[in-house]
């Protein structure tokens, strides 16, 4: 009984304890639920999954979608990534979430500003607000987030600069502020982030120099801050970053020397400082750390590289020093241990010397992993070695614009890996290199601007079925040329050399002449043929018009005769056509009007005559000079054919020319026939060489009758067209 007296008191105190304990928790939780529901109500839209967010449901807060509670029933994680939130953060009561550790608002349609109240989320450890339309500045109160370890504020439309309070977030380990249009300089307080491992500030408009305080951030592993306007020199304190793995500062305006101590980190594997204004000697011992993979230092002002810099570089995959002022003998940088180098780009420097070792082999041929070799635009000389054809991984070779000489060595093999071969603008000579016949996966072949001579071999189209761009311009190729049927099938659009994480776009430089501008267009994946500036004679083969993928055709500056191929209009994709400075004659074929992509055209300095075909596309080419210096063209953009007296005058001249040509054809044919008859009688008895001779004469005759036939075609075309266009003239008909 004694005990029973205490029962109601016990119950009372129990109830009191329960109430006393439960009531404050409920109030806090209710506040969290209210804050979320109120904010949701302020939004113009949200994902249907937020349907469970209602006050009627507040007792089950921890079951709401996108929410995770801690053991006390408070919201610790709010993951609203991609929840179609349309609205602002103005009504978000940050103060209601003192236990929130994780907040993700990324990939929504939030606009307005990031409110200063965000600093009230004092327990926050991870904050992600990327890919929204938020504007304004980063609030200074962000510095109050003392426990924040990960902050991502990327792909926003913020302005202003990085607040110096950023240095107050001393727990920060990962900081991504990419593509947020920030301006101003990096605050010195950043050095206080001594736990920071990842620093991404890329694609902003940051100015000023990199503060020396960066040296205090000794945990840094990944600096990725390309595409800003950072200037000045790299601070020497960078040598303290002995855990550095990735160092990306490309496309800034940094200058001065690179200190050798940058390589202090034995973890350093990528250095990309392309497109800055660094100068001086590139420091040696780059591979001393033992982890270096990728060194991209193109488009700077480096004047040299310390000798033996790439010695012992067994882990190095790619080196790119394109467009610097490096004047050196390449052989001084490497030794006999080529390691795994894949990519080597020293284009547009002043490299000199040869590629040959003392015993005449190209030293580079031992680099069996090499996929891309670009040594174009240097001052290298000497011959090539045939070992080039045996390099097992090589996909891209560019040795253009050097002073290489001699004959391109022949070989019985060529590796299937070879796709792009550029040997232009050197002093190579001899016949079309036979070794190329085995390179059956070739996509681009550029032999322009050398002293190659002889015929363009007929095997090109069969042996190189994937060829997309063929440039043989400015050589001494002569005679007939061949059908390039390989380009007739559909091809992909973009070509690039893929060497792991280093990719290189295949680009061809072409000069497009248009009105009075010269455009340099870098193209990729375009089918083109450039045979300009050779000694090609005879006719343009009709087979060219089967190359339906052709976008660029330049045959200018040869001795081509006969007509423009009848079906040229089949080339619906052709954008640039240059047939100028040849001896083409006859009318422009009617199908010409079908070139519906043509934007650059030059037919000047030939013997063309008659009416220029019309089409919507041709009417856009208003410059008369593209037809100038022909024997008698008329029609837009030249003078009209019928009404103009000058054109009639031209036609008279043309008609007379035709008569002369026709007469010439017949006289010559008669002469050949007579000649053949004479010799056939004379040589009747000496049969042994007579046979061969007959055959030769037969061939001659065949060739000649082909020509006569083409004369007739041109002439007939001219005549029928003309008969329809103008009043027939008696001299014309009597013929
Ligand atoms: C957000 O809501 C407003 C108002 O309803 C609407 O005009 C706008 O198109 C919405 N934005 C998006 C991205 O859905
Ligand atoms: C309450 O929340 C639960 C769990 O998310 C949900 O299934 C239920 O539909 C919600 N009820 C109301 C009335 O919103
Ligand atoms: C941003 O979000 C949109 C749709 O929400 C998506 O299409 C886009 O890829 C995202 N961009 C980034 C950089 O994540
Ligand atoms: C929340 O943050 C704002 C801005 O930093 C501040 O003015 C306000 O006092 C904070 N609220 C509380 C309750 O601390
Ligand atoms: C935060 O940063 C500012 C500016 O760097 C500094 O003046 C202030 O003392 C810091 N506050 C705290 C609490 O560390
Ligand atoms: C970056 O800043 C420069 C100089 O203030 C300005 O000219 C440029 O337009 C800015 N670029 C962007 C993308 O904001
Ligand atoms: C940070 O770096 C600066 C300059 O290198 C130095 O003077 C300062 O003592 C460093 N601060 C800390 C806390 O290490
Ligand atoms: C970096 O390297 C230099 C020279 O090799 C050395 O003197 C310095 O002590 C190194 N710094 C660190 C932090 O290891
Ligand atoms: C690069 O630096 C050189 C001197 O080292 C200077 O003459 C040149 O103007 C700088 N270029 C740019 C784009 O800053
Ligand atoms: C290259 O390696 C050899 C042997 O491992 C070593 O003796 C030499 O000092 C190294 N050279 C450089 C430049 O690191
Ligand atoms: C290439 O390597 C072989 C053996 O691996 C060696 O005998 C030869 O001298 C090397 N050639 C060059 C040019 O370094
Ligand atoms: C060139 O190709 C065309 C069309 O395929 C064909 O008619 C012609 O006979 C070919 N000429 C030669 C010489 O192969």
- Which of 341, 362, 366 should be mutated for ligand 11, with most atoms under 8 A from CB? 366
pLDDT of 732:
23
Whether the CB-CB separation of 226 and 247 falls below 8 Å is answered with: no
Who lines ligand 7 at CB under 6 A? Answer: 191, 212-213, 215-216, 237
Q: Is the pLDDT of residue 208 over 50?
A: yes
- Token pair belonging to 476: 């001494």
Using one digit for the tens of pLDDT, what is the confidence trace for 240-268?
999 999 999 999 999 999 988 887 888 99
Nearest ligand atom owner, CA of 132: 3
- Which of 487, 539, 541, 703 should be mutated for ligand 12, with most atoms under 8 A from CB? 541
Q: Is the pLDDT of residue 490 over 70?
A: no
CA nearest 166: which of 199, 140, 147, 184? Answer: 140
- Which of 233, 299, 301 should be mutated for ligand 9, with most atoms under 8 A from CB? 301
Whether the CB-CB separation of 279 and 303 falls below 8 Å is answered with: yes
Query: How far, in Å, CA of 133 to CA of 105, rounded?
Result: 12
Query: How far, in Å, CA of 633 to CA of 639, rounded?
Result: 9
pLDDT of 29:
86
The residue contributing the CA closest to ligand 4 atom 6 is 117
State the average pLDDT over residues 161-173: 96
Q: Is the CB of 133 under 6 A from ligand 1?
A: no
Q: Which residue has the higher pLDDT, 703 or 167?
A: 167
State the average pLDDT over residues 132-142: 95
Q: Is the CB of 625 under 6 A from ligand 6?
A: no
Using one digit for the tens of pLDDT, what is the confidence trace for 389-443?
888 889 999 999 999 999 999 888 899 999 999 999 999 999 999 999 999 888 8
Q: Is the CB of 253 under 6 A from ligand 6?
A: no
pLDDT of 501:
66
Nearest ligand atom owner, CA of 229: 6
CA nearest 206: which of 243, 170, 169, 166? Answer: 166
In three-state secondary structure terms, 538 is coil
How would you class 48 by CB atoms within 10 Å of its CB: exposed for 0-12, middle for 13-18, buried for 19 or more? exposed
Residues β-bridged to residue 198: 174, 222
Q: Which residue has the higher pLDDT, 459 or 144?
A: 144
Q: Which residues lie below 8 Å from residue 176, measured CB to CB, with a gap of 6+?
A: 130, 151, 152, 153, 154, 198, 200
How do the residues of the chain divide into helix, strand and coil, expressed in percent and rounded to 5? 30, 20, 50
Whether the CB-CB separation of 155 and 180 falls below 8 Å is answered with: yes
The residue contributing the CA closest to ligand 3 atom 2 is 107
pTM (two decimals): 0.80
- Which of 460, 480, 483, 550 should be mutated for ligand 12, with most atoms under 8 A from CB? 483
The residue contributing the CA closest to ligand 9 atom 6 is 277
State the average pLDDT over residues 168-188: 95
Q: Is the pLDDT of residue 357 over 60?
A: yes
The residue contributing the CA closest to ligand 1 atom 7 is 44
Atom of ligand 9 nearest to the CA of 279: 5
State the average pLDDT over residues 176-200: 96
Query: How far, in Å, CA of 100 to CA of 689, rounded?
Result: 103
State the average pLDDT over residues 176-192: 95
Using one digit for the tens of pLDDT, what is the confidence trace for 313-338?
888 889 999 999 999 888 888 766 66
Whether the CB-CB separation of 362 and 331 falls below 8 Å is answered with: no
Q: Which residue has the higher pLDDT, 3 or 289?
A: 289
Nearest ligand atom owner, CA of 266: 8
Q: Which residues lie below 8 Å from residue 29, measured CB to CB, with a gap of 6+?
A: 58, 61, 73, 74
Q: Is the pLDDT of residue 474 over 60?
A: yes
The residue contributing the CA closest to ligand 11 atom 4 is 366
- Whole-number Å distance, alpha carbon 139 to ligand 4 midpoint, is 12
pLDDT of 494:
52
pLDDT of 701:
37
φ/ψ of 653, rounded to 5, equals: -60, -45
Using one digit for the tens of pLDDT, what is the confidence trace for 570-622?
999 899 999 999 999 999 999 999 999 999 999 999 999 999 999 999 999 99
In three-state secondary structure terms, 75 is strand
Confidence band for 297, pLDDT divided at 50, 70 and 90: very high
State the average pLDDT over residues 225-249: 95
- Whole-number Å distance, alpha carbon 52 to ligand 2 midpoint, is 4
- Whole-number Å distance, alpha carbon 541 to ligand 12 midpoint, is 7
Whether the CB-CB separation of 231 and 209 falls below 8 Å is answered with: yes
Q: Which residue has the higher pLDDT, 217 or 653?
A: 217
Secondary structure letter of residue 253 according to DSSP:
E
Using one digit for the tens of pLDDT, what is the confidence trace for 662-717?
444 444 444 444 444 444 443 444 333 333 323 333 343 344 334 333 333 343 33
- Whole-number Å distance, alpha carbon 131 to ligand 3 midpoint, is 6
Query: How far, in Å, CA of 726 to CA of 443, rounded?
Result: 48
Using one digit for the tens of pLDDT, what is the confidence trace for 52-94?
899 888 888 899 999 999 999 999 999 999 999 999 999 999 9
Query: How far, in Å, CA of 594 to CA of 568, rounded?
Result: 8
The residue contributing the CA closest to ligand 9 atom 9 is 277
Confidence band for 524, pLDDT divided at 50, 70 and 90: low
Q: How high is the mean pLDDT of the chain?
A: 81
Using one digit for the tens of pLDDT, what is the confidence trace for 89-113?
999 999 999 999 999 999 999 999 9
- Which of 209, 210, 216, 234 should be mutated for ligand 7, with most atoms under 8 A from CB? 216
State the average pLDDT over residues 532-554: 87
Q: Is the CB of 299 under 6 A from ligand 3?
A: no
């Amino acid at each position: 009984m004694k005990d029973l007296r205490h029962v109601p008191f016990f119950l009372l105190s129990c109830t009191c304890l329960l109430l006393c304990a439960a009531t404050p928790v409920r109030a806090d939780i209710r506040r969290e639920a209210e804050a979320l529901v109120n904010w949701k109500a302020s939004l113009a839209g949200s994902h249907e999954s937020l349907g469970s967010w209602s006050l009627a449901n507040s007792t089950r807060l921890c079951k709401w979608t996108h929410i995770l509670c801690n053991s006390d029933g408070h919201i610790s994680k709010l993951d609203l990534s991609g929840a179609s939130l349309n609205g602002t953060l103005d009504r978000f009561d940050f103060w209601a979430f003192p236990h929130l550790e994780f907040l993700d608002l990324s990939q929504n349609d939030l606009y307005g500003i990031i409110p200063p109240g965000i600093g009230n989320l004092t327990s926050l450890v991870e904050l992600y607000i990327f890919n929204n339309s938020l504007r304004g500045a980063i609030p200074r109160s962000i510095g109050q987030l003392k426990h924040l370890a990960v902050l991502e504020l990327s792909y926003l439309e913020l302005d202003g600069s990085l607040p110096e309070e950023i240095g107050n977030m001393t727990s920060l380990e990962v900081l991504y502020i990419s593509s947020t249009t920030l301006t101003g300089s990096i605050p010195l307080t950043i050095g206080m982030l001594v736990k920071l491992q990842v620093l991404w500030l890329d694609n902003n408009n940051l100015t000023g120099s990199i503060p020396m305080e960066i040296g205090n951030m000794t945990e840094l592993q990944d600096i990725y801050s390309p595409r800003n306007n950072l200037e000045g020199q790299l601070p020497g304190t960078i040598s303290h970053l002995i855990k550095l793995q990735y160092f990306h500062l490309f496309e800034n305006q940094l200058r001065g020397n690179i200190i050798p101590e940058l390589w202090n980190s034995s973890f350093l594997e990528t250095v990309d400082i392309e497109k800055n204004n660094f100068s001086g000697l590139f420091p040696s011992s780059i591979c001393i750390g033992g982890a270096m993979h990728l060194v991209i230092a193109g488009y700077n002002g480096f004047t040299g590289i310390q000798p033996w810099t790439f010695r012992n570089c067994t882990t190095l995959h790619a080196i790119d020093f394109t467009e610097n002022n490096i004047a050196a003998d390449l052989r001084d940088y490497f030794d006999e241990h080529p390691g795994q180098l894949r990519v080597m780009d020293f284009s547009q420097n002043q490299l000199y010397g040869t590629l040959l070792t003392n015993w005449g082999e190209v030293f580079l041929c031992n680099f069996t992993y090499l996929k891309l070799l670009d040594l174009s635009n240097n001052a290298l000389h000497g011959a090539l070695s045939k070992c080039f054809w045996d390099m097992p991984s090589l996909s891209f070779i560019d040795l253009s614009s050097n002073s290489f000489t001699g004959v391109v060595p022949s070989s019985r093999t060529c590796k299937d890996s070879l796709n792009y071969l550029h040997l232009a603008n050197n002093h190579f000579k001899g016949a079309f290199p036979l070794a190329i016949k085995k390179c059956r996966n070739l996509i681009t072949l550029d032999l322009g601007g050398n002293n190659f001579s002889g015929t363009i071999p007929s095997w090109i189209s069969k042996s190189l079925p994937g060829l997309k761009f063929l440039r043989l311009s400015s050589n001494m190729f002569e005679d007939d040329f061949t059908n390039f049927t390989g380009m007739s099938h559909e091809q992909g659009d973009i070509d690039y050399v893929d060497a792991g994480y280093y990719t290189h776009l295949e680009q061809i430089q072409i000069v497009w002449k248009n009105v009075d501008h010269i455009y340099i267009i870098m193209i990729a994946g375009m089918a083109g043929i450039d045979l300009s500036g050779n000694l090609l004679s005879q006719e343009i083969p009709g087979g060219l018009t089967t190359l339906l993928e052709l976008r660029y055709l330049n045959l200018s500056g040869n001795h081509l005769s006969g007509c423009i191929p009848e079906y040229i209009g089949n080339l619906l994709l052709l954008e640039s056509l240059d047939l100028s400075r040849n001896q083409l004659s006859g009318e422009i074929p009617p199908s010409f009007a079908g070139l519906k992509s043509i934007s650059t055209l030059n037919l000047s300095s030939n013997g063309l005559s008659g009416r220029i075909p019309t089409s919507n596309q041709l009417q856009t080419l208003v410059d008369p000079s593209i037809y100038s210096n022909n024997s008698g063209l008329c029609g837009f953009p030249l003078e009209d054919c019928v009404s103009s007296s000058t054109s009639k005058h031209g036609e008279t001249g043309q008609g007379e020319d035709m008569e002369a040509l026709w007469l010439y054809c017949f006289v010559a044919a008669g002469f050949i026939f007579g000649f053949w008859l004479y010799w056939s009688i004379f040589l009747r008895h000496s049969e042994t060489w007579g046979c061969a001779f007959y055959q030769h004469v037969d061939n001659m005759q065949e060739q000649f009758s082909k020509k006569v036939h083409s004369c007739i075609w041109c002439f007939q075309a001219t005549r029928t067209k003309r008969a329809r266009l103008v009043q027939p003239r008696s001299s014309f008909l009597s013929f």
